[in-house]
Structure 1
Amino acid sequence: MNQYQTALPDPATAPELFDGVLTRRVFAFVIDLVILGAMVLAFSLVGLVAGFLTFGLAWVALVVVVPASIVLYYAATLGSPKRATVGMQLMDIVLTPTRGQPLDGWMAVIHAAIFWVTVWISWPLSLLIALFTPRRQMLHDLLVGGLMVRRSPMVRHWQAMNARSQGAY
């Protein structure tokens, strides 16, 4: 186990970081689904009108525009310094990388893509796995190397960890 992984929060010593995380994730997903639905609807309406104006040519572009807008949503929100989608921000949760690599736009897109694949294949299995992992990680979290925790207690947790590590020198 490397030094970064030992610094990961532990539910036994910091239970406030994991309190209600699964419930919050479900509500965050619903909020994000509504936002994504509104985006897809808006792009579809624009594409519909543009299709009539371009004699159907713009309708072909919808095959690319709609998935691209979803990818950009995750890259712009999950890949931002806030490391959370709009729904996650409203539910006070944040995605934290666990493998020592930064959570940039590409990692956010990969995390979201694996999420959608695992949910599409078997969402009950993904939720079931989260019930039996100590840090409440879902299947896509384990595959990509992510950890979802509460944001407000996490800030206090990392400040305490930094203070302890600076005091050890």
Structure 2
Amino acid sequence: MNDTQNARPALPDPSTAPELFEGLLTRRVTAYVIDLVIMGAIVVGLSIVGLIAGFLTFGLAWVALAIVVPAAIVIYYAATLGSSRRATIGMQMMDIVLTPTRGYPLDGWMAFLHAALFWLTFWISWPVSLLFALFTPRRQMIHDLVMGTMMVRRSPMIRHWQAARSGAYSSSY
């Protein structure tokens, strides 16, 4: 074992910590719907501003909307998933959090790549992505496995990591 594995507690297992994964797929789908509503409001707001600005700029602002709207969605994901909360607003409401599994930090770029891969795999075949999660022990979707992340419930996760740390420290003495 290397130092990174010793310093980091083992990933939670659904058989030993089922509370971390209880109702996870339902929570993820609900969080996704909440985030779609939020992003829809952002798009509507930007579209109204762009419509008005388009008349004032003789149509130039309408062209800019093709860049501004996708950029706003990317910024939403990077700012929320890349924050210290590691969750979008919908995820926070559903008490779930994005957790790295490979020891890499979850920064803005990782959050951006996670969101981009999510939209790509979800856009291509959302039923396959959801079915895939039914057959993985930690309820990970395709983009989670590729990016080295997983979703867990936040409140039980905090208790889990505290217990893992106290167990790791007490067994090392």
TM-score interval (norm. to shorter): over 0.9
Alignment match, 1:9: 12
1:48 correspondence with 2:55: no
Q: What TM-score results when the alignment is normalised by the length of structure 1?
A: 0.97
Aligned letter for 2:19? E
Alignment match, 1:155: 158
Alignment match, 2:62: 59
Report percent identity of matched pairs.
Answer: 73
| Deviation per residue, 1:51-107 (Å, 9 max, x gap) | 000000111110110000000000111110000000000000000001110000111
Alignment match, 2:91: 88
Match of 2:29 among 16, 26, 29: 26
Q: In 2, Cα distance between the equivalents of 1:15 and 1:64?
A: 43
Q: Please report how far the alpha carbon of residue 18 of structure 1 lies from its aligned counterpart in structure 2 after TM superposition.
A: 0.2
RMSD, matched Cα: 1.4
Q: In 1, Cα distance between the equivalents of 2:170 and 2:14?
A: 23
| Deviation per residue, 1:30-66 (Å, 9 max, x gap) | 0000000000010011001000000001111101100
Match of 2:148 among 124, 145, 149: 145
Q: In 2, Cα distance between the equivalents of 1:59 and 1:147?
A: 38
Alignment match, 2:116: 113
SS at match of 1:64: helix
CA contact (8 A) 2:31 2:91 kept: yes
Match of 1:122 among 117, 122, 125: 125
Aligned letter for 1:19? E
Q: In 2, Cα distance between the equivalents of 1:58 and 1:113?
A: 25
Q: How many residues align structurally?
A: 169
Q: In 1, Cα distance between the equivalents of 2:60 and 2:152?
A: 45
Aligned letter for 1:155? I
Q: In 2, Cα distance between the equivalents of 1:117 and 1:99?
A: 22
Q: What TM-score results when the alignment is normalised by the length of structure 2?
A: 0.95
Q: In 2, Cα distance between the equivalents of 1:6 and 1:145?
A: 16
Q: Please report how far the alpha carbon of residue 141 of structure 1 lies from its aligned counterpart in structure 2 after TM superposition.
A: 0.4
Q: Please report how far the alpha carbon of residue 168 of structure 1 lies from its aligned counterpart in structure 2 after TM superposition.
A: 1.6
Alignment match, 2:137: 134
1:69 correspondence with 2:111: no
| Structure 2 unaligned spans of 5+ | none
Q: In 2, Cα distance between the equivalents of 1:80 and 1:46?
A: 27
CA contact (8 A) 2:9 2:164 kept: no
Q: In 2, Cα distance between the equivalents of 1:145 and 1:63?
A: 31
Q: Please report how far the alpha carbon of residue 6 of structure 1 lies from its aligned counterpart in structure 2 after TM superposition.
A: 6.7
